[in-house]
Amino acid sequence: MRIIPAIDIINGQCVRLSKGDYNTKKVYNENPLEIAKQFEAHGIEHLHLVDLDGAKASHIVNHKVLEAIATKTTLKIDFGGGLKTDEDLKIAFESGANQITGGSIAVKNSDVFKSWIEKFGADKIILGADANNEKIAVSGWLEESDEDLIPFIQGYQKEGIEYVICTDIAKDGMLQGPSFDLYEKILKECPKVKLIASGGISTFDELPRLKELGCEGTIVGKAIYENKISLKQLENYIVNFK
């Protein structure tokens, strides 16, 4: 199981929110590149980079941060937040993203999202399936849609999607543990999905449990920044499970 630390960006700074609420913003570092280099120094190979300004603006904003991290580290970056057009994707990939994540666009403009899968390949496009009470949420979680989570994922699996990041919004940034039951349900009902668990990770012991369930990756955010999980622990985990 891949360990994927998260860096969320507002105004070029590394921040975290609780339940996606912009009013709960907490700045952890003014230089995201510094944080990325720390991850890299501890053997971490992957990074989940979210452009929260982009999510609000509905177009890519913080591509310079992406470019800085991509050119000055060897981290494989998946990038999301406000990607709506082919031009946004072009900028993201040219700035160094290995993969992009599309969430709202997959709900609101499925034709565009499907064209991305076709154009760039399923290995480059991640479906962002963020949910509240198993209903898909969109627009930086500012609104809930009528889409049910499991059929939503299944529908895109038929279109070729392999990678899915699922965040249970009720858990995100709350440090109360991830949605094990939800992930188990997804893995049972969506066979072959490469599921990346996100939201609520609070202790190191939760990681082996997610691996056991069959998650392909786990995104860890606030638990790192609040020192609930140390980078040394993650480094040891990565070394032991290689």
Active site residues: 8, 130
Q: Is 207 helix (H, G, I), strand (E, B) or coil?
A: helix
- Give the sign of the dihedral formed by CA 74, CA 49, CA 148, CA 115: negative
Q: Which amino acid is located at 49 in the chain?
A: L
Q: Which amino acid is located at 140 in the chain?
A: G
Q: Which amino acid is located at 36 in the chain?
A: A
Give 198's strand partners. 167, 219
Q: Which amino acid is located at 1 in the chain?
A: M
For residues 171-203, b (16+ Cβ closer than 10 Å) or e, as one string? bbbebeebbbebbeebbeebeebbbbbbbbbbe
The C-alpha atoms of residue 128 and residue 20 are separated, in whole angstroms, by 14
